[in-house]
A and B are shown apart, each in its own frame.
Chain A
Amino acid sequence: MFRLIQLELQKLWLNKASKVLIYISFILPFTVLILSSIKINFFGFFTLELGELGIFNFPIIWHITTFFAAQFKFFFAIVVVSMIGNEYSNKTIKQNLIDGLSKKEFILSKFYTIVFFSLVATVLIGVATFLIGLYYSSYTEVAIIFREIEFLPAYFVKLVGFFSLCLFFGMLVKRSAFALGLLFIQYLFEWIVFWAVVENTTADIAWKVKSFLPLESMWKLIDQPIQRIIMTKFPEKQDLVYDYGVHWYEFVIVIGWTAIFVFLSYRLLKKRDL
């Protein structure tokens, strides 16, 4: 396993473009996180301190940081599709296989790298969230700190799922740009399915159907926290209440899609003549 990760990391690390993208995908969310946690003085007119809104309080901070950090996953998504696209355009995929890498190992080396990256991202976000929370949070009891820590594994599974989808699209079309285009088409497709179901049944059922589709299921794993922030400000408004929790079945759906995408990528490679 480590051999396969090493292999892929060498390919990524020596490539300037992917190296830059990896840096960005790590540095950018942290910059945003740190910038938002400091007091910003707008030329003496007023000071903006997001900390005062209570968003850095445990346990909501887990929800907020993982949600916003997940938005930066697109940078690594580009890395994932280009690591497939490059293998095809350089024909190195063929040479790798001839050199004795099996097709299974080839896919696994990509998948393990995805898992490795997601794990590092999760650990870093976890540590950063914990430290910022300790600094700003009004509540620092252990029980409260770790109450909603399930957002971390949700973040991890969400990343792995999304990158596996990218991996599959990359294998399918062999070219990075087209693979990213496919992601957008997939997004549209899920809305088309949604509207098709709405036409024939109710919105409720349509939302349920959509939550089984790949992109929506990943989105549902960590629901948007903005409504929740507003909720805490206006506790009396009952119509704002929504289910923002992380549920086991949401994990199952995303993990299911991950398995399907990795398996399909392998099948595709196995059937293909290079």
Chain B
Amino acid sequence: MLFYFSTVTKPKYNRQTLTINQKPNILDSILTINNLTKKFGYLTAVKNLTFTINKGNVYGILGPNGSGKSTTLGVVLNVVNKTEGDYHWFDGNTTTHDALKKVGAIIERPNFYPYMTAYENLKLVCKIKGVDYSKIDEKLKIVGLDERKDSKFRTYSLGMKQRLAIASALLNDPEILILDEPTNGLDPQGIHQIRSLIKEIASKGTTILLASHLLDEVEKVCTHVVVLNKGEKLYSGRVDEMISSHGFFELKTDKHDVLMEFLENNTSFGKLKVEDEIITAFLNEPLDASTFNKLLFDKGITLSHLVKRKESLEEQFLQLTDNN
């Protein structure tokens, strides 16, 4: 993500708005995975994976295609058999079968009966989950499909199918919503719709687990992230800690030495790098470009070049996956 001097491009959904209602509580764990391994013949799809999902956060599972995201979700959702290790839902006293009734999940692509209407499809899901039919209209309204509820599923566009899948996953007012690549294959408008939906759901305090290979998606939506590559966990923790810095300035001025001295004595800045007369100054604390510019101007330092940048998740991610 680039923050230029004046044209600051802000992401539409930023993390801060998501965390307002969320009070993470370590005691309320929803899913615990311990040393999970899954082998398909010679191929190890998931290797010794351990992580915990707590109530009230938006988690991302990030990894390139074939890194074991879907397999991991498949195992905890009871459609893929684990090879080794274990996992448990909630406090560990609930069977997976019962736990899944408190979970809403969609996987890879929306799977419904093409010959049934949206309403009929959701009725079936209600029967499976033991939910009252009155929820159907409510949830269809949330995803904006209530006007098309009597159309057959096969007449839906991919974006509508995906939204129906989300409505279906929400029917039981789940404690956790699991989404596997929910924007895969959608056009920009569809992606936008799905993301604002996720944002809206998260703001109501529902825990979300989002698997994706799209970095900016995870960056925009998630508070926590687990990075996988070739079935192994590379990182797990907060997204903003993964993007560990507050960004950095790229500066150029005639009064090079004065500026260097100023930066060295200013506690807001940490590491400094000089390359072709351009100073790269890493921030220790948040500081926006215009404030900084004014500050320097008051000190009598005029800049010929000022760029504020942030290391993107992409850079972090590529760095992580490259090392392995």
Contacts and interface: CB of A to CB of B under 8 A. Distances in A.
A7 B124 contact: yes
A97 B78 contact: yes
Contacts of A94: 79, 107, 111
A91 B111 contact: yes
A273 B128 CA distance: 21
B125 A10 contact: no
Given A98-B100, A102-B97, A92 B111 contact: yes
Contacts of A103: 78
Contacts of B40: 273
Question: On chain A, which size bracket covers the interface?
Answer: 20 to 34
Contacts of B120: 10, 14
Contacts of B97: 100, 102
Nearest to B172: A100
Interface string B75-113: 001111100000000000000010011010101010111
Question: On chain B, which size bracket covers the interface?
Answer: 20 to 34
B116 interface: yes
A14 B80 contact: no
A220 to B, nearest CB: 39
A6 B114 CA distance: 19
B115 A16 contact: yes
Contact of A7 (B74, B105, B112, B128): B128
A101 interface: yes
Interface string B151-180: 000000000000000001000000000000
Interface in A213-250: none
Interface in A69-119: 86, 90-92, 94-103
Given A7-B124, A10-B123, A100 B100 contact: yes
B113 A100 contact: no
A90 B114 contact: yes
Nearest to A102: B97
Given A11-B124, A98-B78, A99-B125, A92 B100 contact: no
Contact of B111 (A10, A95, A271): A95
A270 to B, nearest CB: 8
Contact of B105 (A11, A92, A98, A271): A98
B142 to A, nearest CB: 18
A15 B111 contact: no
B322 to A, nearest CB: 31
Interface of B: 40, 74, 77-81, 97, 100-101, 103, 105, 107, 109, 111-116, 120, 123-125, 127-130, 168
Given A97-B77, A99-B129, A102-B97, 14 more contacts: A3-B130, A7-B124, A7-B128, A10-B124, A11-B113, A14-B113, A90-B113, A92-B112, A94-B107, A98-B77, A98-B105, A99-B168, A100-B129, A274-B74
